[in-house]
Structure 1
């Protein structure tokens, strides 16, 4: 039975990691930005997501869309990781329609905007090649809108939110 639970958890990690990246790709594309930078770093991002989801060290994945001249945040998307994994009966899904609705609500990004993906982890997490510690841009003057659960696989999942100017 242990091998079944381990294989299922590994599958949950892969499913959630893949759908976090796919969700960010949709956000980037539907916000009017070019997803090629995300796609180019897909392997490195996937390795970090899978490593830190598997170890339980990943707390939040952040996509910052910012003004390249000033560095100021335009909009920020968060996916907070939820660890309620269970090997029993469960479900798996990604709520792409809810995400698309809120992307439209947040609006198009300026054509010269840039984006960056960050991952918030617990102290002492294992290092992953291609990733280092970083800092978030300020959310002063912004308000956070929670979308609730958007990714789920047997209790391992993500709750999405976005920040916009007030």
Structure 2
């Protein structure tokens, strides 16, 4: 039984990782930003998210969109990780329509905007090549719009939301 549960958890980690990354790519592309920077780092992003989901150390995936002239946050997308995994029903889904609606509602971003992917992890997480600890831009004057669960596989889930100006 433990072999099946281990395989299933590994499968859940892979499914959630892949769909978080695809969701972020959609956010970037549908918001009017150039996805090339993100695509160039796909392997590194996959390795980090998959590693820290697998160890239970990933708390949140953050896409900061900022103005390079001022270094101020324009918007931010968060995907909070929920570790409710069980080897029960094996349900899996990704709500792409909900995400597309929220992207449209948030609107196109300025063409000069840049973005950065950050991963919020527990302090004692294992190291992953190409990743180090960093800091976030301020969300002062912004409010978070929660979307709820966006991706799930057997209870391992990502709950999306975005920050907008008040």
**TM-score normalised to the size of structure 1?**
0.99
Query: Would you say 1:86 and 2:82 are equivalent positions?
Result: no
Offset of 1:90 from its aligned partner? 3.0
In the TM superposition, what are the counterparts of 1:130-145 in structure 2 within 5 Å? 130-145=130-145
Q: Over the residues paired in the alignment, what is the CA RMSD in angstroms?
A: 0.5
Deviations 1:82-103 (CA, angstroms, capped at 9, x unpaired): 0000001131000000000000
Q: How many Å separate the matches in 1 of 2:134 and 2:107?
A: 27
Give 2:3's aligned residue. Answer: 3
Question: Offset of 1:63 from its aligned partner?
Answer: 0.2
Aligned to 2:57: 57
- Return the alpha-carbon distance in structure 2 between the equivalents of residues 55 and 80 of structure 1: 16
Match of 1:76 in 2: 76
Show the 5 A alignment for 1:140-159.
140-159=140-159
- Give the C-alpha shift of residue 106 in structure 1: 0.5
3-state secondary structure, aligned to 1:164: strand
CA displacement, residues 65-87 of structure 1 (integer Å, 9 cap, x when unaligned): 10011110001000000000000
Cα distance between partner residues in 2 of 1:139 and 1:75: 9
- Structure 2 residue matching 1:131: 3-state secondary structure: coil
**CA distance in 1: counterparts of 2:137 and 2:75, whole angstroms:** 10
Distance 2:123 2:32 in 1: 35
Q: Which runs of 4+ in 1 moved over 6 A?
A: none
Number of residue equivalences:
166
Q: Tell me the TM-score normalized by structure 2.
A: 0.99
CA–CA distance in structure 1, aligned partners of residues 88 and 101 of structure 2 = 32
Query: What is the Cα deviation at residue 2 of structure 1?
Result: 1.0
Match in the other structure for 2:25: 25
How far apart in 2 are the matches of 1:3 and 1:52?
21
Structure 2: distance between partners of 1:98 and 1:83: 21
Unaligned segments of structure 2, at least 5 residues: none
Q: Is 2:80 aligned against 1:107?
A: no
The separation in 1 between residues aligned to 2:38 and 2:7, in whole angstroms, is: 28
Return the alpha-carbon distance in structure 1 between the equivalents of residues 62 and 106 of structure 2: 16
Q: 2:163: which partner in 1?
A: 163
